[in-house]
Chain A
Amino acid sequence: MNFTGTILLVDDEPHIRKFIGLVLRQVGAPRIIEAGDGEEALAVYQREHPDLVLLDINMPGLTGVETLQQLKAADPDCLVVMLTSLASRQIVEETLALGAVGYIRKDTPKDEIIRTLSEIIANCLDAGEPAEPAP
C-alpha cells in the first residue's frame, strides 16, 4: 500500500480499532491516530488534519453518517473511507453519495481488508481529485 500520510481511525469499539490499526501497520501506514466517537473524530480532525479518515458507520452519539457530513462541511476535500459491517450495508450508498470515497467491510478477513483499502487509496492517488465517490 502506497500511502505515507496520517490516518485517523474512528470506531467506538476499541478491539476493532486495535485490529484495523494492526492491519494498517502491517501494510506500512506510518502514523495512525484514533478516535472513539464522532465528536472526538471532528476535534482530532481539526487539530491533526489527517490525510485519510477511516470512519465507522454504526456509532452511538454522532453516527458515522452525521460525522461524515460534518467532516465534509468543515473540509470538502477530506478523504473518508467508511468502515462497515453486514448490518450497515444499506447505509453505504448514502455515505458514498455524501462524499465518502469508498468502504471497507471490517468483518471480512484481513487480506480482503488490505486489498480493498489498497484499491481505494490507489484510486484516490491516481485520481488526484478525492471527492469522486467510488463506484
Chain B
Amino acid sequence: MDPTDKIPAPERRSRKILIVDDDRLNIRILGGILRNEGYVLAEADSGEHGMEAYEKFRPDLVLLDVMMPGIDGFETCRRLKQVHGDNCAPIIFITARNESDDVVAGLTAGGVDYLPKPFKARQVLARIRTHLQNQILAEQQKLLVEQLNKADAAKNRFLGMAAHDLRNPLSTIRGLAEILRESTDSRIAPADLELLDGIHDTSQSMLNLVDELLDLSVIESGELRLEPKPCSLTDLIAKCAGLRSGDAAKKRTRIVLPAAGPGIRVTVDPAKMQQVVDNLLSNAVKYSPPGSTVTVVIHGDSRRCGFAVQDQGPGIPEKERHRLFSDFGRLSVKPTGGEKSTGLGLAICRKIVEAHQGTITAENLPGRGCEFSVALPVLS
C-alpha cells in the first residue's frame, strides 16, 4: 500500500478561509485578493459571530481582526484554541501597522502570524500560502502516523496469528522426532540418528524463534499483562539456574549463585522475570568458552534491588553496543558451542524489565567477560 495515495494534495480541494473583521471594507479588499486565487471564503463581523461561523464553515485558516467591538481578536483566538485544541485551523491576526508590537506579544494567544494594514496582495497571499502549506504538512503527518500505527498493529496481529499456527505443527515434528530417536525396538543407523537429531534440534530452535516472535507481538501490541506478586529473587534465580544446569554441564560451565539465605524479596511477575533471568543465564553459558564460570550476584537496598549475570565470554564489541537490546540485534560475537540465537532474546528482556519499571544494562568487565545487570524498583 502506498500511503501517499491517501494524502490530501493542496490542489485536490479549495482551501477554506474565514475572515473575521468588523470593517466591511477590509473584508471586501481581502475577499477580492483571495477569491481570485480560488480560495473559498466565509465572513463574520465580530468575535462572537466568528466563533459561530467557525463551527459551520470549518475553515482551513482564519484571518482575525484584533480590534473589534465585543470580544477582541486575541480573546476570540484563545477561545477557538480552547475549543478546538491542536485541531484548530491556523489563525492570522489583521492589524494596523502601529499595532504590530502588540500583535507579536498577542501571538502567544495562539495565532501563527499577522497581516498589517493596508494590505499588500502579494504579501497577503504569500503568508496565507505558507501557513496553509504548514497545515497540509501537519495533516499529512497525522495521516501518516495513523497509517503507520495501523500497519504496526496489523503486523503484530499477523505475527501473533502466524506464530500460533506454526507452533502446533512444529511441536508435532519435534515430538515425532523425539519418539523415533528414543525408540529402542527400531534399528536406526547412527548416521540416520544424526539426521533425526537434526530434525529435532531444528524444529526446537524454530519453536524458540516462533515463541520469541509471539512474545514480541504480545509486548508490541501492548497486550503484555504483568501479574506481579511478592517473591524471593534468590529462589527465582536458583530455579532458573537449575533449569539451565543441563546446558551448562554440556560445556563444563559452572553457574555460581549467591549463598542461599532469606534473600531479597521483589514484587514481579514471576514467569516473566524468570524469562529474563533464563535468557541472561542462557546467553552467559552460550557465549562463554567451555569450562567457564557464570556468576550471578544479587544486590538490594531500600530503594532499588536487582541482580547481575557475569560471564567469561569475549564481551560486547563497543561498536555494536547500540544493537544489543534492539530487535534482531545480533552481534558479531558467536556462541561458543554452536548454539542458536534469534537476536530477539535481549530485546524481549528489555521490554519485560521496562514493563516492571526497571532497567537493564550491560558492561564489559575488566579483563574478560561482561555483566548484564537488571535493576528493579522496590515496590511498597
Closest to A19 in B: B175
For window 22-39 of A, CB contacts with B under 8 Å fall at 22-23, 26
Closest to B210 in A: A86
**A107 near B167: Cβ-Cβ < 8 Å:** yes
User: A13 at interface (Cβ–Cβ under 8 A)?
Assistant: yes
**B167 near A109: Cβ-Cβ < 8 Å:** no
User: B357 at interface (Cβ–Cβ under 8 A)?
Assistant: no
Given contacts A86-B214, A109-B174, contact A13 B168 (CB under 8 A): yes
Contacts of B179 in A (CB 8 A): 19, 22-23, 26, 110
Contacts of B214 in A (CB 8 A): 86
Closest to A17 in B: B172
Given contacts A15-B169, A85-B168, A113-B175, 6 further A-B contacts (CB under 8 A): A16-B168, A16-B172, A19-B179, A22-B176, A107-B167, A107-B207
Roughly how many angstroms separate A99 CA and B175 CA in the complex, as a whole number? 28
Contacts of A109 in B (CB 8 A): 174-175, 178
For window 141-184 of B, CB contacts with A under 8 Å fall at 164, 167-169, 171-172, 174-176, 178-179
Roughly how many angstroms separate A108 CA and B171 CA in the complex, as a whole number? 7
Give chain B nearest CB distance to A62 CB in angstroms: 19
**A18 near B176: Cβ-Cβ < 8 Å:** yes
14 A-B pairs within 8 Å (CB atoms) are namely A16-B168, A16-B172, A19-B172, A19-B175, A22-B176, A85-B167, A86-B214, A87-B164, A87-B167, A107-B168, A107-B171, A107-B207, A108-B171, A110-B175
User: A72 at interface (Cβ–Cβ under 8 A)?
Assistant: no
Roughly how many angstroms separate A13 CA and B172 CA in the complex, as a whole number? 10
Closest to B160 in A: A87
Give chain A nearest CB distance to B223 CB in angstroms: 12
User: A49 at interface (Cβ–Cβ under 8 A)?
Assistant: no
Roughly how many angstroms separate A110 CA and B204 CA in the complex, as a whole number? 12
The number of residues on chain B lying at the interface, defined by a beta carbon within 8 Å of a beta carbon of chain A, is: 14
Closest to A87 in B: B164
Contacts of A106 in B (CB 8 A): 168, 171
Contacts of B176 in A (CB 8 A): 15, 18-19, 22
Closest to B170 in A: A107
The 9 closest A-B pairs by CB, nearest first: A107-B171, A87-B164, A19-B175, A110-B178, A15-B172, A22-B179, A19-B172, A107-B167, A19-B176
Contacts of A15 in B (CB 8 A): 169, 172, 176
Contacts of A87 in B (CB 8 A): 164, 167-168
Contacts of B174 in A (CB 8 A): 109
Contacts of B172 in A (CB 8 A): 13, 15-16, 19
Closest to A25 in B: B179
Contacts of B178 in A (CB 8 A): 109-110
Give chain A nearest CB distance to B222 CB in angstroms: 17
Roughly how many angstroms separate A106 CA and B176 CA in the complex, as a whole number? 12
Roughly how many angstroms separate A113 CA and B164 CA in the complex, as a whole number? 19
**B164 near A86: Cβ-Cβ < 8 Å:** yes
Give chain B nearest CB distance to A39 CB in angstroms: 22
Closest to B161 in A: A87
A41-77: CB near B (< 8 Å → 1, else 0) gives 0000000000000000000000000000000000000
**A23 near B175: Cβ-Cβ < 8 Å:** yes
For window 92-134 of A, CB contacts with B under 8 Å fall at 106-110, 113
Interface-central residue, B168, B176, B179, B207, by most chain A CB under 10 Å: B168
Give chain B nearest CB distance to A9 CB in angstroms: 14
Contacts of A110 in B (CB 8 A): 175, 178-179
Roughly how many angstroms separate A132 CA and B304 CA in the complex, as a whole number? 43
Roughly how many angstroms separate A87 CA and B217 CA in the complex, as a whole number? 13
